[in-house]
Amino acid sequence: MSKDKYNATVVQRSVQSVQQALIEGLPENAPVLQSVLQWRLVSEAELSASESAEGTLEREGSSEWIINRRSLPVGIYQVKFTASFQIGDSGAPQTIQAFNFGFIEVIAAPLRAIIDGGSSARWGSVETVTVDGSLSYDGDIGLGNHDGVEFTWYCREAIENGPVSNDCFGAFVDGANALAVIIDTSVLDVGKTYFLCLNVSKDVRSAFAEMTFEIVAGQIPQVKLR
């Protein structure tokens, strides 16, 4: 089935969300002797195998189901709510049942690409500079955990349609696929301005950040705020 056919409600995996069922039509003034309320979740794979799949019991005894953040994998699910009530005289109770279902699509939070040190810099032509990208993160995991996140650095000249270089025109010391990149400024041209670009990617998601830096002759002091 296509996603459009499910008409699913979007749920962000990194944010707590709430599903609620409104129960109507119970006879007025009839005492409720017993109630059974259940929330079940059926994965897309289970639906593909059987449209009558029972699913997994997620919540019982309430008309509200709180989906905790990061508790469900990304994907499309059928949400089923069932309610059963015994009402009336305890000697001869009447059972009333109700059922409804809908669909949710659990989506991943975006990646964040962050270059520590601001949006621009001036570096001397006889320096070795380290630029840190470790503040970048996967919104589904949070800061400090880079599991599965790939880092790719590159440079381009800050002119219209300027050339792009995966090794920063030979200035990258230890390659371009790490949390931090080391730049040998002596390889670059004095007086030129460049863009240092960072792309982070994971599964089908990606994010991008960049900073400009100018190369000036000699050595200049660097100030870094935290």
The pLDDT value given to residue 225: 56
Structure tokens that stand for 118 in this block: 């601001």
CB atoms under 10 Å from CB of 74, counted, come to: 14
Average pLDDT over the chain, rounded to an integer: 92
The pLDDT value given to residue 190: 97
Residue written as token pair 């409804």: 100
Q: Residue 8 carries which side chain, given as an amino acid letter?
A: A
The pLDDT value given to residue 29: 81
In contact, 176 and 155? CB cutoff 8 Å: no
Mean pLDDT of 17-32: 89
In 3-state terms, what secondary structure has residue 3? helix
The pLDDT value given to residue 222: 67
> Cα–Cα distance between 109 and 1 in angstroms, integer?
24
The pLDDT of residue 188 is above 60: yes
First-residue to last-residue Cα distance in the chain: 50
Tens digit of each residue's pLDDT (9 = 90 or more) over 200-222: 999 999 999 999 999 999 988 76
In contact, 63 and 20? CB cutoff 8 Å: yes
CB atoms under 10 Å from CB of 168, counted, come to: 24
The pLDDT of residue 92 is above 90: no
pTM of the complete model: 0.75
Mean pLDDT of 14-22: 94
Predicted confidence band of residue 116 (pLDDT cuts 50, 70, 90)? very high
User: Per residue in 13-23, is it b (16+ CB within 10 Å) or e — as a string?
Assistant: beeebebebee
> Cα–Cα distance between 26 and 73 in angstroms, integer?
36
Predicted confidence band of residue 75 (pLDDT cuts 50, 70, 90)? very high
Q: What residues form DSSP beta bridges with 183?
A: 129, 172
Q: Which residue in 109, 174, 188, 179 sits closest to 147, CA to CA?
A: 179
Q: Which residue in 211, 166, 172 sits closest to 188, CA to CA?
A: 172
The pLDDT value given to residue 224: 64
The pLDDT value given to residue 28: 82
